[in-house]
């Protein structure tokens, strides 16, 4: 089955070792598309990009499971200023 979300956002993704990361603005757009398609958001994983690679940040990540319909919570989380400097891997159903 084709992942329509991945297909739509592949040109905006930063992909490293099969980790699809997005800037906050793009992650919010992706989440809104998930909401329209009734695709639940499972978690948001934060990463910092540097010359030596990517560094995950548990402090700036969030897990929504097993709750459903977390689109507004995900958007609110990404809107927190402290989270703005990270790239996000958006885990959604089917990812």
Pairwise CA distance, residues 57 & 48, whole Å = 8
DSSP lists the bridge partners of residue 22 as: 88
Q: Which residue has the higher pLDDT, 26 or 1?
A: 26
pLDDT tens digits, one per residue of 2-39: 688 999 999 999 999 999 999 999 999 999 999 999 99
> What is the residue range of 75's domain?
4-92
> Rounded to an integer, what distance in angstroms lies between the CA atom of residue 64 and that of residue 49?
24
Q: Specify the pLDDT at position 66.
A: 75
Q: How many domains does the chain have?
A: 1
Query: CATH number of the domain that 62 lies in?
Result: 3.30.190.30
Res. 1: pLDDT tops 60:
no
Q: Report helix, strand or coil for 41.
A: strand
User: Does pTM surpass 0.75?
Assistant: yes
């Amino acid at each position: 089955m084709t992942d329509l979300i991945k297909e739509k956002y592949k040109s905006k993704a930063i992909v490293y070792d099969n980790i699809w990361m997005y800037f906050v603005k793009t992650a919010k757009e992706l989440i809104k598309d998930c909401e329209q398609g009734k695709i639940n958001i499972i978690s948001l994983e934060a990463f910092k990009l540097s010359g030596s690679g990517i560094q995950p940040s548990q402090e700036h990540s969030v897990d929504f499971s097993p709750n459903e319909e977390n689109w507004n919570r995900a958007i609110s989380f990404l809107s927190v200023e402290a989270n703005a400097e990270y790239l996000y891997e958006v885990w959604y159903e089917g990812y």
